[in-house]
Amino acid sequence: MSATELVWFKSSYSGSAGDDCVEVATTEHAIHVRDSKDLTRPAFTVGREGWERFVRYAVDH
């Protein structure tokens, strides 16, 4: 699935002024993360297990 076919949504931690724009898209096996201010950069993709570990770490720290 290409980045243009994914359904992206803005992170709840992104600023409302539009200056901190992190978007994520989920698929059955992966989480895709991108900077919506610079769509020329490729999205970062991580497996669901890795994403869950990252989120747990972020919540704890």
Parse the chain into domains and list their residue ranges. Answer: 9-60
pTM here is: 0.75
Q: What amino acid is encoded at 42 in this protein?
A: P
| 48 contacts 36 by C-beta, under 8 angstroms | no
pLDDT number for residue 1 = 66
Query: How would you write the pLDDT of the chain (61 residues) with one tens digit per residue?
Result: 666 689 999 877 666 676 667 889 999 999 999 988 888 898 899 999 999 999 999 999 8
pLDDT number for residue 46 = 96
Mean per-residue pLDDT of the chain: 86
pLDDT number for residue 20 = 67
| 27 contacts 1 by C-beta, under 8 angstroms | yes
